[in-house]
Amino acid sequence: MINGKEIEGVIVDMDEKAMYIQTLEKEIVIQRESVSEVIQLY
């Protein structure tokens, strides 16, 4: 969840400041401090 919004995608990269997530539509960059929950599925 990011600021109360659920986003589905694949984390393609991560550093100390941001997560880079590939969704079906595009790649998005999210600041790490705005991420409240990450759920990993296999």
Backbone phi and psi for residue 6, each to the nearest 5 degrees, phi listed first: -90, 135
Can you give the residue range of the structural domain that contains 29?
Answer: 1-42
Backbone phi and psi for residue 33, each to the nearest 5 degrees, phi listed first: -70, -15
Per the structure, the count of domains in the chain is 1
Q: What is the pLDDT of residue 32?
A: 85
Q: What is the pLDDT of residue 35?
A: 81
Q: Please list the residues that pair with 20 across neighbouring strands.
A: 13, 29
Q: What is the pTM of this model?
A: 0.68
**E-state strands within 1-42:** 10-14, 18-22, 27-31
Tell me the C-alpha distance between 35 and 38, whole Å: 8
Q: What is the mean pLDDT of each run of 10 residues along the chain (42 residues)?
A: 78 92 92 81 76
